[in-house]
Amino acid sequence: MLADMRTSSHDSDHGRLRAIVAALAAGLPEAEIRETHISLVLLAGDTAYKFKKAVDFGFLDFGTLEKRAHFCAEEVRLNRRFAPGIYRDVVAVRGTPEAPAIDGEGEVLEYAVRMRRFADGERLDALLAAGAVGRDDFVALGATLAALHEAAPRAAADSAFGTPPVVAAQILASFEHLDAPALRADVAARLAAAAPAFGARRAAGRIRECHGDLHLSNIVRDGDTLRPFDCIEFNPGLSVIDTMSDTAFLVMDLDERGRADLANACLNAYLEAGGDHAGLAMLRLYSAYRSVVRAKIAALSLASATDGAARADCGRRRDEHLALAARYLHVSEQPALVITHGVSGSGKTWAARRLAERHGHIHLRADVERRRLAALRATEASGSTLGGGLYSAGRTEAVYEHLLVLAGEILAAGYSVIVDAGFLAARHRAKFTALTAARGVTCRILDCDAPTEVLRQRIETRLAAGNDASEATLEVLEHQLATRDAFSTAERAIAIDAERALREGIPGCGRLATRS
């Protein structure tokens, strides 16, 4: 009886809201109304008005006018972090249901979020389907996301957000309405084993006020920039989360669409900009969780679908997402380590980036990590001289030790890694080959070279541009050419020429993506 009364009340409230929005639309030229399960959106000219339905699903409660006013304000506050040019303000609709007016007079009927309207084709899922975005766009998006996460407020120390029991309960709840006992048991076991890691993420300040629903349909092209929008405002339990869980949704969405190359480019840009390599230990588990959520949504759609074709499509999507989740948890390939070798200007970074995307590797760049250790931005000049400043012997050894530790952590997380550094000294190469021997994983040396005159031209061009992390000069190049250590017989056996690697891939170092 109570459920019937609640349904009747909701139906009445929804009918009232539809009538109000329809009356507003009647007074606007070329107005259009769109509806979701929680919103009505009125589109008119260059403006969109988003109204919240009077619904209460437990995890989301818009049941009273006061709550709808509050969550409209929260939607604007939270989304302005991501897309300030899209989210304008909150408006009150006043008057009567038959004659409502935005910012009018009289009794407040409803509240709405006023936004700048954009074309459906500007959403990232549509842009990708149309071939209107590419690698560079996703690299920029990864850097943008890292900056947003870095600026996001951290969870309060006395809150439960990000604690192992809360994370485990949230992830296991995604299996409701799914018949996947083996996968659920696998995830439950991994959650129990990961409890210390969840605690470490929280202690490191990685539980923050995130987006919470970061898939391609919730990212829009705003001018020349891809910006997230429509973050979760209605339940902080779904948005005050591990930053890597936020990132995992985007990675999973690209993987699902067969664009692992773009997922890798975006992820590597995110890691390079933010330095959260420790989060890789959680990425696959979070990606599996996001895929299970998609499977649950498909299962719920299947339960309500009546058309045979629609039911078949829902069942297919459910099964595909469950299979993708299982693949995240059971990666068949062993991780591998690739170190570059070459003087400045030999194309190490260019080759490493392309090969990382093609093979699905994590890319570590010494020039970036050197500046991170010195608390400098990636392209910020240090004013260092040959053998001085950031390039002193002590600092150089510290950089290689830092790269060695990161490489070990990345391998332990199950990811292959390309370490992009000069590796001109045999002692530095020896430490990394020893790491792979101890881990029992493949090691390759990516040998990069070019004619001396080409090297000089590249360095001069790069210095003139002033937009790269490398500060190598012609003086540095001449020193490197004169002092580099030759390969040993053992090193020659695992070295591969960069041009050959770009043509054929790196033997024994994982999949070769079909797109790049």
Residue 479 has pLDDT above 60, yes or no: yes
**Average pLDDT, integer, range 474-486:** 93
Residues near 390 by beta carbon (within 8 Å), at least 6 away in sequence: 370, 371, 374, 382, 384, 471
pLDDT at 358: 92
Alpha-carbon distance 63 to 396, whole Å?
60
Report residue 349's pLDDT band, with 50, 70 and 90 as the boundaries.
Answer: very high
Q: What is the pLDDT of residues 398-414, one digit of tens each?
A: 999 999 999 999 999 99
Count of CB atoms situated within 10 Å of the CB of 285 = 23
How far, CA to CA in Å, does 37 sit from each of 25, 40, 296, 469, 492? 20, 8, 16, 47, 62
Q: How far is CA 476 from CA 345, 460, 470, 472, in A?
A: 11, 12, 11, 6
Residue 516: pLDDT band (50, 70, 90) is very low
Ranges of H-type helices in 305-374: 308-329, 348-359, 366-373
Phi, psi of 110 (to 5 degrees): -155, 170
Mean pLDDT score of the chain, rounded to an integer? 93
Q: Which pLDDT band, with edges at 50, 70 and 90, does 511 fall under?
A: low
Contact (CB, 8 A) for 352 and 319: no
pLDDT digits (tens, 9 = 90+) for 303-324: 888 899 999 999 999 999 999 9
Q: How far is residue 72's CA from residue 234's CA, in Å, rounded to a whole number?
A: 9
C-alpha 399/C-alpha 390 separation (Å) is 9
Per-residue tokens: 393: 């012997």
Instruction: Report the pLDDT value the prediction gives residue 122, as an integer from 0 to 100.
Output: 98
Q: Which of 336-340, 386-390, 403-407, 451-455 has the lowest mean pLDDT?
A: 386-390
Average pLDDT (111-122) is 98
The mean per-residue pLDDT over the stretch 418-446 comes to: 97
pLDDT at position 409: 98
User: What ranges do the domains of the chain cover?
Assistant: 2-117, 124-329, 336-504
The amino acid present at 21, given as its one-letter code, is V
User: Greatest CA span in the chain, whole angstroms?
Assistant: 87
Find the mean pLDDT for residues 200-220.
98
Taking residues 189-207, what's their average pLDDT? 98
Residue 512 has pLDDT above 60, yes or no: no
Give pLDDT tens digits for 229-244.
999 999 999 999 999 9
Residues 258-317: tens digit of each pLDDT = 999 999 999 999 999 999 999 999 999 999 999 999 999 999 999 888 899 999 999 999
Tell me what the mean pLDDT of segment 325-329 comes to: 98
Class of the 336-504 domain? alpha beta
Confidence of residue 515 (pLDDT cuts 50, 70, 90): very low
pLDDT score for 29:
87
Q: Is the pLDDT of residue 463 over 90?
A: no
Tally Cβ neighbours within 10 Å of residue 331.
13
Q: Domain 124-329 belongs to what topology?
A: Aminoglycoside 3'-phosphotransferase; Chain: A, domain 2 (3.90.1200)
pTM score: 0.92
pLDDT over 90 (residue 2): no
